[in-house]
A and B are shown apart, each in its own frame.
Chain A
Amino acid sequence: MTTVDWTRKTAAQMAAALKAGEVTSVELTQAHLDRIAAVDGPVHAFLHLDPEGALETARKVDEDRAAGVELPALAGVPVAVKDVLVTEGLPTTAGSRILEGWIPPYDSTVSANLKAARMPILGKTNMDEFAMGSSTEHSGYGPTHNPWDLDRIPGGSGGGSAAALAAFEAPLAIGSDTGGSIRQPASVTATVGVKPTYGGVSRYGAIALASSLDQLGPCGRTVLDTAMLHEVMGGHDEKDATSLDEPVPACVDAAMQGATKDLTGVKVGVIKELSGSSDDGGEGYQAGVKQRFEESLERLKAMGAEIVEVSCPSFEYALAAYYLILPSEASSNLAKFDSVRFGLRVEKDTVEKTMLATRAEGFGDEAKRRIILGTYALSAGYYDAYYGSAQKVRTLIQRDFAAAFEQADVLVSPTTPTTPFKLGERLDDPLAMYLNDVATIPANLAGIPGMSLPSGLAPEDGLPVGFQILAPAHEDARLYRVGAALEASLTEEWGGALSAQAPELEVAG
């Protein structure tokens, strides 16, 4: 009779235990479904659960394992999927009322990859509507609450996935990152999230927000777990023309190497403009965030890394460029929600009035704001000044990164300037909300990979602080090496993962 709480284990530990026969996938999956039933009421990480489907997958994995069939590394380990990902036969809404009840007739490539990896899919996680937001408050189905403090935001847009990990409702989750939607929620929930190199993971079947910025990625509680999921998700896909035609980076090997805590010869560049240093760009950075960041740099140095400062002057324009490119592409990507082939219809006497009424009712405020902004940025007479200029800023940001990567192997910054703010605090101030993503956005504009991992709790409020690592395009493995080293050093001090320090959630009777 086991008394092990499997939900507290890492995915790597679960995979090992499954392989060793210490637990079955059905037991693991049921444990997570039970945990969800117990705590998800107040957290609201999930929009939709699929207990039958998850248990069915688990049962077949157990059968195959018993029969001696060779199985993929994460076979039987459950996973939560952000609702941005199209899942055949399972409701998919992207957090929007306009897609309420839509059951897709096809699978995204990443869903198919998860199925091929034999991972039970627990359900679909909450998100800002169409991934537009940094707090998950813009979900059409109500906000997700941060398990560290239920009055606070879990980050966004992937707040559901991050909260599910932090609340031990799932060991692994899928996220999507257009301007930080994987890394920023990871930062404020003390979990790990990676935005791969653009094209490293197929976007086919990910409901598009901004096609040239969107990237799906892995979320976990540890760097190694995240690496394992990254390798399952990634790889070339002929259904996505922008998919990289190259092998998935060796993330797991890199994480293992990093865990030895040897960073000799690794050059770490601190991005001056994003580091919160007082002389430049320091305003808006919380003291505890800066403190944990500085401490983490010391740890890296102690493990042999060389710390250098780099400057990326064009980053000053990144947020502006982002809030032109994203709404422009989004305004076009969201046109298809027109009441004709799927989703909501508010019927009026003509098709045009029906479209007008449907989109008015189906889209939330933030979606409308961005659609209008994008329509404006692309419209005749404004294109060159707005969209065109923003695409040029993108070139400047790429040049800044290229120059910085001449001096350093990876670049680092705090993931977010502050710890999680209170729900509702910035809802009426879109510009303040957008500032959350100031450090994460440049990577999306340049297409490079980035990771956020926990670097401690801010002393002043006891809330999680994230540490961001960026690497050149195609060099995702570097994130895992450096991230695993920092994680190993920190957990040694903490005596375990930071996530274990999260307050106990009240369990539903």
Chain B
Amino acid sequence: MTAARVSYDEAMEDFDPVFGIEVHVELNTKTKMFCGCANEFGAEPNTQVCPVCLGLPGSMPVTNEKAVESAIRLGLALGCSIRESSRFARKNYFYPDLAKDYQISQYDEPTCYEGSLDVVLDDGTVVEIGIERAHMEEDAGKNTHVGGSGGIQGASHSLVDYNRGGVPLVEIVTKPITGMGERTAEVARAYVATIRDIVRALGISDGRMDQGSVRADVNLSLRAKAPAGEDQDAVPFGKRSETKNVNSLRAIERAIHFEAGRQAALLSDGKPVVQETRHWHEDTEETTPGRSKEEAEDYRYFPEPDLLPVEPSREWVEELRGTIPEHPAKQRARLKDEWGFSDLEMRDVVAADAVPVLIATVEAGATPQAARKWWMGELARVANDQGVSLDELSVTPAEVAELQSLVDSGRINDKLARQALQGVLAGEGSPTAVVEARGLEVVSDDSALEKAVDEALAAQPDVLQKIQDGKVQAAGAIVGAVMKATRGQADAGRVREIILQRAGVEG
């Protein structure tokens, strides 16, 4: 049954939305949160498990120091205060993918609390989002449903892989965000994009939403619009829905559109909105109700007795504060100026996640435009073909800069540079090594070029006549023949000069 709904715009006309977002960030530590198993995506099932992350009787957790450091750095980047003494707590609930049937999380004393984050919208508007907390916890394993349509409903049974169980997460919880009106969906999307950019800039997560490294739960409620001239904040919040696992930027916007429309339709009809968990369906772009609330959740949190308080020293926190990179949106504005890119160029670079590789390539000596040309052109195509991100390509920014310098010095031309790049991508070595090994250098020896020109002219005597008759553009045919004969390794400009000399015509 599909719920009645109105359009997002209609919903926004009649109601004032309040929303909040919980983002789970998977940290890219080498090991899991509480054991030494490798934290890597995509291994064979149940091969990255041990007594601790399988929850075997007797096993005990020990906190990963790097995960604590990453959580504190993320908290600092979100403007949070770092608690002098924070601790872990157990969140108790039964679920087959939760090995111990409790999740080690943080509850009343999270490590990072009370922050705020500037989110820059596409038109440059800056919105400040209040951060309530950022806390450490562990991920659950993964259920695969067998039989039926592959979903949980109608499955005959399920299979559990605990490789992901115990992977370190930081959960970032916003304060309720109000006053965004019809920009709610846009702000929500921009907020999650900013978190993703920040965790990447911090180097604490790959930020890949497609692999679940950044996952969002979106809470939304609607309240009546205050009559003109009255304080909107005096109107109490409505009942909210919590839509789980909204795992792409587009889906965040769509889920908010859907939920606002669904709730507005109910409220307009005088029906109540049920406070509940809902699931996002990527295929239909709809949400459906989750588990029934007949049996209210009671997580029975209590301090994790197997772990001790986290009490980072002031010195350590300040040292970590020194490692916090520039806010990605502000960095982008600065780079656009420094690099002299147009709005459109910069937006494309950002959209392609090419900022980090561009920075590195420019640092390695290339001009911004040259760096942009390579990464947004040839390399973007290759990455797309291979289905990998730019930073996963087997060519480094330094090699791209080196390639460009070979072009700039005239040793190779653009066409040869592309061939050299193929060699680098194929693992044949550095650009210089590939140029040398493949013999790709521009033929700069005039005698060789003169010989090739003479041969081409002899083969096409009519062309020589045309040139001498003043049809200088006819030289193109000879240039082409020479380029072919030299397998593209000639400098076309120089070839043309030689042809004109031979024809006795000045260029």
Contact = CB atoms under 8 A, between A and B. Distances in A.
Interface string A210-249: 1110000000000000000000000000111110000000
Interface string B281-309: 00000000000000000101110011110
Interface string B100-116: 11100000000000000
A380 interface: yes
Interface in A317-358: 328-329, 331-332, 335-338, 340-342, 351-352, 355
A275 to B, nearest CB: 31
A99 B57 CA distance: 9
Given A241-B63, A332-B92, A108 B58 contact: yes
Contact of B57 (A207, A379, A380): A207
A387 interface: yes
Interface stretch (A72-80, A198-206, A427-435, A471-479): A198-206
Nearest to B54: A341
Interface string B49-69: 011001111111111000000
A465 interface: no
Contacts of A380: 298, 300
Contacts of B308: 241-242
B71 to A, nearest CB: 17
Contact of A375 (B57, B60, B300): B300
B160 interface: yes
Contacts of A208: 57-58, 60, 306
A141 interface: no
Counting chain A CB atoms within 10 Å of each CB, the highest count among B58, B62, B300 belongs to B58
Interface in B57-108: 57-63, 90, 92, 94, 96, 99-102
B158 interface: yes
A94 B94 contact: no
B306 A105 contact: no
A104 B58 CA distance: 10
Contacts of A206: 58
Interface residues of B, number: 30
Contacts, number: 103
B94 A332 contact: no
Contacts of A106: 50-51, 56, 59
Given A332-B92, A340-B160, A378-B302, A105 B51 contact: yes
Contacts of B62: 238-241
Contacts of B63: 241
A86 B94 CA distance: 24
Contact of A86 (B54, B57, B301, B305): B57
A383 B58 contact: no
A203 B51 CA distance: 14
Interface string B382-418: 0000000000000000000000000000000000000
Contact of B302 (A105, A108, A332, A342): A332
Interface in A116-163: none
Contacts of B100: 335-336
B306 A241 contact: yes
A352 B58 CA distance: 24
Contacts of A335: 92, 94, 100-102
A204 B306 CA distance: 10
Nearest to B296: A380
| Majority secondary structure, A binding face | loop
B138 to A, nearest CB: 14
B55 A332 contact: no
A375 B102 CA distance: 13
Interface residues of A, number: 44
Nearest to A335: B101
Given A108-B58, A207-B57, A375-B300, A329 B92 contact: no
Given A241-B308, A380-B298, A332 B102 contact: yes
Nearest to A241: B62
A342 B56 CA distance: 8
A355 B59 CA distance: 21
A290 B101 CA distance: 46
A358 to B, nearest CB: 11
Contacts of B57: 86, 92, 94, 99, 102, 104, 207-208, 336-337, 342
Contact of B55 (A204, A240, A341): A341
A274 to B, nearest CB: 26
Contact of A207 (B58, B61, B298): B58
B306 A211 contact: yes
Contact of B306 (A242, A328, A379): A242
Contacts of A375: 300
Contacts of A239: 60, 62
B300 A212 contact: no
Contact of B94 (A104, A238, A342, A355): A355
Nearest to B302: A378
B60 A241 contact: yes
A378 B58 contact: no
Nearest to B307: A241
A379 B298 CA distance: 6
Contacts of B94: 335, 338, 352, 355
Counting chain B CB atoms within 10 Å of each CB, the highest count among A104, A336, A337 belongs to A336
A104 B57 CA distance: 9
B300 A336 contact: no
Contacts of A331: 92, 300
Contacts of B99: 336, 341
Interface in B393-445: none
Contacts of A238: 62
Given A204-B58, A338-B101, 4 more contacts: A104-B58, A106-B59, A336-B57, A383-B300
28 contacts: A86-B58, A105-B51, A106-B51, A106-B56, A106-B59, A207-B58, A208-B57, A211-B305, A238-B62, A239-B60, A240-B62, A241-B61, A241-B306, A241-B308, A329-B302, A329-B305, A331-B92, A332-B302, A335-B92, A335-B100, A336-B56, A337-B57, A341-B99, A352-B94, A355-B94, A375-B300, A378-B301, A378-B302
